[in-house]
């Protein structure tokens, strides 16, 4: 093993130690359960890409979703289902906002490695949070009995209408996509908001908007199937 490798490994270990100490300190100072959850992930799951999941662009898109959800559908939800939930950042942000009254949030993702991280991030909220490993196409949505389904990664879905057709008629949804065509995993991007509206073809719509970022524009729809 080269000296450079040793130095790089030491820097990585030092970064995680410093980030763990910093986030624990910030949690103690602010009293934020969300920051405490991030510290828990850094301490227990250093392999998790939490820096990417909680970068400024990801946070901005979820703050936007949270605010528009509050403005257009209100603060009270019995059960929210988030598909493609990754590390459960959005549920943690919703729980962290005192304006909301939420009975339970379930985060679903097909990647088995993210379930334990999502539970670690949402540890302060575990009485109202659960994460599960499942394919969104294989879920029994009637049995899930959610009064809101959230999917903020529609650009990864080959057949958005086919997936939406699995939801019980009248289910409320919050959907996000983008025009970031250069990302290889984005197999269903849209060029503009109108294209996203046509792609989703919701039965009713209470919000449609776009959020411009440096490299792409994120689109969002809130309504019912």
Tell me, yes or no, whether 42 and 142 share the same domain: no
- Judge whether residue 75 has pLDDT over 70: yes
Average pLDDT over residues 154-158: 90
67 and 26 belong to one structural domain: no
Per-residue pLDDT band at 57 (split at 50, 70, 90): confident
Q: Are residues 112 and 210 in the same domain?
A: yes
Place of tokens 């394919």: 135
Of 31, 48, 65, the position where a domain reaches its end is 48
C-alpha closest to that of 150 among 97, 195, 88: 88
% residues pLDDT > 70 (the chain): 94
The reply to whether 32 and 71 lie within a common domain is no
For residue range 25-53, what is the model confidence (pLDDT) as tens digits?
A: 888 988 899 999 999 999 999 999 998 88
Residue 129 structure tokens: 């949070």
- In this structure, the answer to whether residues 202 and 166 fall within a common structural domain is yes
105 with 129: CB under 8 angstroms? yes
Taking phi over 0 as left and psi of -120 to 50 as alpha, with beta for the rest, 2 belongs to: beta
Looking up residue 98, the CATH number of its domain turns out to be 3.40.50.150
Q: What is the pLDDT of residue 1?
A: 52
Instruction: Write down the pLDDT at residue 12.
Output: 54
Tokens 């400024």 map to which residue? 56
Q: 168 pLDDT exceeds 80?
A: yes
Shared domain for 41 and 151, answered yes or no, is no
Is the CB of residue 199 less than 8 Å from the CB of residue 212? no
What is the mean pLDDT of the segment spanning 93-111?
97
Q: What is the mean pLDDT of residues 131-143?
A: 96
Angle ∠(197,199,205) on CA atoms, nearest 5: 35
Residues 122 and 172 in one domain: yes
- Mean pLDDT of the 121-138 span: 95
Q: Do 37 and 60 share a structural domain?
A: no
- Host domain of residue 192: 56-224
On whether both 14 and 101 belong to a single domain, the answer is no
Question: What pLDDT is attached to residue 175?
Answer: 98
The percentage of residues in the chain with a pLDDT greater than 90, rounded to a whole number, is 73
- pLDDT value for 11: 56
**What domain count does the chain have?**
2
Q: Looking at the structure, tell me whether residues 25 and 44 fall in a common domain.
A: yes
| Same-domain check for residues 20 and 64 | no
216 shares a domain with 128: yes
Radius of gyration (C-alpha) of the chain in whole angstroms? 18
pLDDT-derived band at 223 (thresholds 50, 70, 90) equals very high
User: What pLDDT was estimated at residue 4?
Assistant: 60
Predicted pLDDT of residue 63: 97
pLDDT at 2 exceeding the cut of 70: no
């Amino acid at each position: 093993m080269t000296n450079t490798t040793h130095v790089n490994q030491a820097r990585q270990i030092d970064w995680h130690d410093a980030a763990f100490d910093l986030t624990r300190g910030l949690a103690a100072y602010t009293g934020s359960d969300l920051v405490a959850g991030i510290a828990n992930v850094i301490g227990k799951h250093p392999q998790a890409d939490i820096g990417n999941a909680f970068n400024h662009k990801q946070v901005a898109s979820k703050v936007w979703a949270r605010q528009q959800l509050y403005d257009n559908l209100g603060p009270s939800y019995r059960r929210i289902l988030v598909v493609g939930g990754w590390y459960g950042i959005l549920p943690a942000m919703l729980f962290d906002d005192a304006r909301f009254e939420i009975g339970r949030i379930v985060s679903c993702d097909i990647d088995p490695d993210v379930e334990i991280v999502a539970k670690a991030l949402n540890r302060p909220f575990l009485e109202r949070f659960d994460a599960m490993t499942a394919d969104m196409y294989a879920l029994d949505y009637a049995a899930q009995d959610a009064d809101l389904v959230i999917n903020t990664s529609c650009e990864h879905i080959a057949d958005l209408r086919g997936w939406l057709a699995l939801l019980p008629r009248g289910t409320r949804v919050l959907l996000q996509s983008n025009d970031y065509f250069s990302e290889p995993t984005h197999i269903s991007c849209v060029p503009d908001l109108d294209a996203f509206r046509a792609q989703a073809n919701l039965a009713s719509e209470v919000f449609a908007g776009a959020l411009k970022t440096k490299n792409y524009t994120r689109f969002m729809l809130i309504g019912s199937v």
